[in-house]
Amino acid sequence: MAPGTTAPDRNGRPVTGGVPRRVDASKLLYEVMRHPLDPGYELAARDRDRDPDRRRPLSRGVVTMVLAVFLAFVTVSAVRDLRAPEPETLRLRRSLEQQIEERTRVVKERQEANATLHQAIAYRQDEELTQRGAAELATRMERLSVASGELPVHGPGVELTLYDAESEGGDSVGGLRDDPASIEGKVVDRDLQVVVNGMWVAGAEAVSVNGQRLTALSAIRGAGQAILVDYRPLVPPYVIRAIGDPAQLQAGFAADLAGSYIQTLRNNYGITSTMDVKDTLTVPGAGEFSLHWAQPEHPQETGYPFARPGADGRGTAATPLHKTHSTTDTEVSP
């Protein structure tokens, strides 16, 4: 089709054919000269002219910095105040510590006084029985008192000590720890149960843990992070003393489950132990026992003609009684 002619499009409307006209460059240059800035830049410049504060960015930055420093100071002070215990809390804590120390001292004094009185009673009892011609009965009572743990005993034996695993700083983990709820590397009640039972199996005649005599009625249990023996708390290290033939105790303990258990504690948890042979050990008595039942040794010689054994074979309250205890050859139950 020749230039300048028209032809209908798809809708039948005429369109101009040929080459389109070129853009006038002078018009483009005119627009650039007339509007040198983009409308957005021009609008921002007008706003800055209307708001003088926008011309001082340095002062605004200084204000922001001062505000940030103030907020940081307030935050640090608040955190420090929250972490630091209040004076009232410290005072109450010191008061409780003093009460604990004082009552611990009183308990220790009364325990010593009780032990002294108990020995005096036992001496008077043996003296009375001997004077009445009941030397055999006195010997039997003494033997049963030793076996039941009522009286203190001494003799050769072994001393086994368990230590909590040491932390990276070289301190025992039995003290302050990062995670108080964790028992990793720390001696627990089950460990003492296994060791004590191993001593009984090896042939120990008397056993104590940190000075607490163990009997057939004793219990080793845990309460939180503490280990209790007959409801008395223990602190590490844990010293187990066993009276008996030292060679037999060492061999029997090593051959028993307790021997391999000690090695497992060392290899897996870092809990160490030492066993020393002692020529003389002293194991304290467990104190006075409660009388569960008794009967006269010779009912026909009681001297009370109207008092007779009851239907179940037990004596009445008016009948002279003597204590009967079972021996402690069995293992301490966990």
* Residue 168 dihedral angles phi and psi, to the nearest 5°: -65, -30
CATH for the stretch 154-289? 3.30.70.1880
- For the entire predicted model, the pTM comes to 0.54
Domain ranges of the chain: 26-81, 154-289, 291-325
Q: What tens digit of pLDDT does each residue of 237-294 get? A: 999 999 999 999 999 999 999 999 999 999 999 999 999 999 999 888 886 666 677 6
Q: How many CA atoms lie within 13 A of 191 on its CB side?
A: 27
Spatial separation of the C-alpha atoms in residues 281 and 277, rounded to whole Å: 10
Residue among 185, 184, 210, 182 nearest 195 (CA) = 210
Which tokens belong to 146? 């030793």
- pLDDT, mean of residues 3-20: 52
Sheet containing 238-243: order of strands: 212-213, 206-209, 238-243, 153-163, 272-283
> Contact, 326 vs 148, CB < 8 A?
yes
Which tokens belong to 307? 């008092």
Would you place residue 13 in the very low, low, confident or very high pLDDT band (cuts 50, 70, 90)?
low
Question: Which pLDDT value is given to residue 121?
Answer: 80
Q: What tens digit of pLDDT does each residue of 299-316 get? A: 555 444 433 444 443 333
Residue among 200, 115, 206, 219 nearest 154 (CA) = 206
Comparing 7-21, 27-41, 176-190, the range with the smallest average pLDDT is 7-21
Spatial separation of the C-alpha atoms in residues 235 and 231, rounded to whole Å: 13
Q: What tens digit of pLDDT does each residue of 51-97 get? A: 655 555 556 677 788 888 888 888 888 777 776 666 777 788 888 88
Question: Which pLDDT value is given to residue 279?
Answer: 92
212-213 and 220-223 beta bridge pairing: unpaired
The DSSP H or E segment spanning 212 is strand 212-213
Spatial separation of the C-alpha atoms in residues 131 and 244, rounded to whole Å: 33
Question: Which pLDDT value is given to residue 177?
Answer: 36
Question: Which pLDDT value is given to residue 255?
Answer: 94
**Strand, helix or coil for residue 155:** strand
Instruction: DSSP for 99-131, please give it.
Output: HHHHHHHHHHHHHHHHHHHHHHHHHHHHHHHHH
In sequence order, the 6+-apart residues with CB closer than 8 A to the CB of 120 are none
